[in-house]
Structure 1
Amino acid sequence: MEFNTQYSNQIPVSDFVSSPSTHSSFTDEDSILEELGIDFSLIINRTKQVINPIMDSPVSFSKEADLVGPLVLCLLLGSILLLGGKSHFGYIYGISILSCLGIYLLLGGLAPQTPNFMLVVSVLGYSILPILLLATLGIFISINSYAFGSLITLIIVLWCTLSSSRIFAHSLDMKSQQLLIAYPCGLVYGIFALLTIF
């Protein structure tokens, strides 16, 4: 059996060997997180601000609004509720989208400058962090059957409301209207708390 070798000799060697000038080094490349726009230090700073809503100098959300933190927190909320036997992923994302649109339209009429929609999504998403604590507590005890559970739920909703309204007031230069912003934010987090409890 003979093999025809005439085609193997016709491929030029230059196709397999490239010159050193065409090689790019990977040390000049940005990391994948930088290319995706994920900054963990920014996420940690914003999470700390939500945990401590009376912080003296709040981090400005208006400079770099991101979606990574809010998406992760909503996914965590759905996962924690799933551990408690409640599958509410669709409700979480549906209520989130509607509340972001509503707050955006409301702030568009109140704020001196038109807010960025990403700012609204980022602030409402990060401020949902205390609801995660309520959902985690709901795995271990039945929150809706005790007066203690109602008190904890009220504290959590007030915590979320204070965080989000303070960040909105600071980012949009509306410090005198913080109570006006707090009312719809409280309604949004009240809906999430009801979703968590029942």
Structure 2
Amino acid sequence: MSTNFEDEPPLLEELGIDFDKIKQKTISVLNPLKKVTKDMIYSPGNDGEPIADSDMAGPILIALMLGGAMLLRGKVHFGYIYGVGLVGCGSLWLVMTLMSQKGLDIYQTSSILGYCLLPMVLLAFFSAFFTATGHVMTVLTVVTVAWCTMRSSDMMVIAMDVQNEKALVAYPIGLFYACFALISVF
């Protein structure tokens, strides 16, 4: 019995890992002035209909980077990162699904929240390499939480297809990122 491996798709394509999409989402999160569009959240399907982009490779990589940044300070908090991330994503998925008319996919919710955790990684690296006074670090932490909250609530509002409810969406998301800020800074 012979198997022809030449007809098989590449492994990363088969697993659904697209580095161009990861790069595009990362840049869109890091640029707070860029307007969030539907193609940042949805991918074109085979029939032309947009499907929810539920990439989990990027968020897992970002969570590992956050853990690595904390490891530079001598804190082994991988369990906290994954625990808060898992409980927070599940809770926010439930809240956002109840708020939207069409519902949300839990993988899409986790993907949005995971990608928008990237500014928190920058804060954790900053706190590892620079010693800042209390007021400077407090201001940086508040700005980082606001940055994460703003980007993820923009993406979440588009994914939920709700209008004029950004403040309602941003409040629980801000609490989620505030937990990560407490883990990252202290």
- Per the normalisation by structure 2, the TM-score is 0.89
How far the C-alpha of 1:84 sits from its partner, in A, is 1.1
Partners of 2:67 and 2:81 within 8 A in 1: yes
Rounded to whole Å, the distance in 1 between the matches of 2:5 and 2:184 is: 50
Rounded to whole Å, the distance in 2 between the matches of 1:168 and 1:70 is: 15
How far the C-alpha of 1:25 sits from its partner, in A, is 5.5
2:150 to 162, 172, 186: 162
Q: Does 1:95 align with 2:75?
A: no
Cα RMSD between the aligned structures? 1.6
Deviations 1:151-178 (A, max 9, x none): 1111100000000000000111123111
**Tell me, what secondary structure is at the counterpart of 2:52?**
coil
Q: Which consecutive residues of structure 1, in runs of 5 or more, have no partner in the other structure?
A: 1-17
Which residue pairs with 1:45 in the alignment? 24
Matched ranges for 1:1-198 at <5 A: 22=2, 24=4, 26=6, 28-58=7-37, 59-61=40-42, 63-143=52-132, 145-198=133-186
Rounded to whole Å, the distance in 1 between the matches of 2:165 and 2:173 is: 13
Q: Count how many residue pairs are aligned between Structure 1 and Structure 2.
A: 176
Q: Which consecutive residues of structure 2, in runs of 5 or more, have no partner in the other structure?
A: 43-50
Rounded to whole Å, the distance in 2 between the matches of 1:117 and 1:74 is: 17
Q: What amino acid is aligned across from residue 117 of structure 2 in structure 1?
A: I
Q: What amino acid is aligned across from residue 78 of structure 1 in structure 2?
A: G
Partners of 2:26 and 2:115 within 8 A in 1: yes
Rounded to whole Å, the distance in 2 between the matches of 1:102 and 1:45 is: 27
- Per the normalisation by structure 1, the TM-score is 0.84
Deviations 1:75-132 (A, max 9, x none): 1111110111111000000000110111011112111111100011001100000001
Q: What amino acid is aligned across from residue 140 of structure 1 in structure 2?
A: F
Using a 3 Å threshold, how does the CA distance of structure 1 residues 23 and 57 change in structure 2: closer, same or farther?
A: same
Q: What amino acid is aligned across from residue 16 of structure 2 in structure 1?
A: G
Using a 3 Å threshold, how does the CA distance of structure 1 residues 60 and 142 change in structure 2: closer, same or farther?
A: same
Which residue pairs with 1:9 in the alignment? none
Q: What amino acid is aligned across from residue 50 of structure 1 in structure 2?
A: V
Larger radius of gyration: 1
State which drifts further: 60-69 or 180-189: 60-69
**Tell me, what secondary structure is at the counterpart of 2:53?**
coil
How far the C-alpha of 1:68 sits from its partner, in A, is 0.6
